[in-house]
Amino acid sequence: MKKIKALFLSAVLLAGGAMSGCTGGGADIQGEVSTENSTPYPPESSPTAEGTEQTAPQSPEQSRESFDANPATEEAPPVITPIDTEPDYEWDKVIALTFDDGPNTDTTNEVLDILEKHQVVASFFLIGNNINDESAESVKRAYALGCEINNHSKSHDYMDKMSADDIKAEYDYVDEKVFELTGEHTKFFRPPYIAVSDEMWENIDVPFISGIGCNDWDEKVTVEKRVQMILKKAADGCIILMHDASGNHMTVEAIDQIIPELKAQGYKFVTVSELFKEKGITPTSQMIYTNVTQEGMWG
């Protein structure tokens, strides 16, 4: 009889230890879950609130699928409102503001901020080697605002010294990149250093563009000097040539003064394409335009 009682007590003690061990293991697992979810899953035996339905916890794979499928968790792209190009002032002249040497993620966006502020469009002439995943967003933003995206070569090298194949490759690289980003091909080409050759005329089948400048690529030229030079040279049908190269913040300051002053003088800001259209002029080959009304090759 004593032996039977001893065996019974041993069984009870072993069962109690096993129950204690399960409880301890459950607390450890619960602690691991709570580091990923601030609301731990309740034990299966826990009662549910009246009127609510108990659901089984999702597996990690199910949770990821639900997260990916939930549009509320995805970051919405920024909403860009196109610039209103219809002036709210009297104008009787047109002019095109253009920028070389982008795109980038700093100065290009600062220029776009000024364009939005003053509600004017511009045309951007891109260097292919500057187009990457980050700077491409600046290109998309410019296009969405209503700006025109044009071609300034892949490498910004002296193309007048290149072979026909190299010239085509320089132009085509940028043209293809712009088409990928905007769905449109580049309509105009600005030769690096405004250096041209017969080989370039023959192998680039869009009009060449120059413009009035203010040496704004030179850090020694102050904001005030940039403003003065552009305002002095501005004329109806004219193309302004400036640079949105990374770090060129003085040009950003300059256009913030130039735009309102030219508006006050009766200028409407348009893209290069619109400039030719406004003047009723079809651009021709073997011309490099500084003013769309010019008759000679160089203006």
Rounded Cα–Cα distance for residues 206 and 184 (Å): 14
Q: Is 185 a catalytic residue?
A: no
Q: Is 118 a catalytic residue?
A: no
Residue tagged active-site, from 152, 175, 243, 244 = 243
Concatenated DSSP letters of the chain? -HHHHHHHHHHHHHHHHHHHHHHHHHHHHHHHHHHH-SSPPPPTTSPPPTT----PPPPHHHHHHHHHH-GGGSPPPPP-PPP--S-SS---EEEEEEEEEE--SSHHHHHHHHHHHHT---EEEE-GGG--TTHHHHHHHHHHHT-EEEE--SS---GGGS-HHHHHHHHHHHHHHHHHHHSS----B--GGG---HHHHHH--S-EE--B---TTSTTS-HHHHHHHHHHH--TTEEEEEE--TT-HHHHHHHHHHHHHHHHTTEEEE-HHHHHHHHT----SS-EESBTT--STT-
Catalytic residues: 100, 243
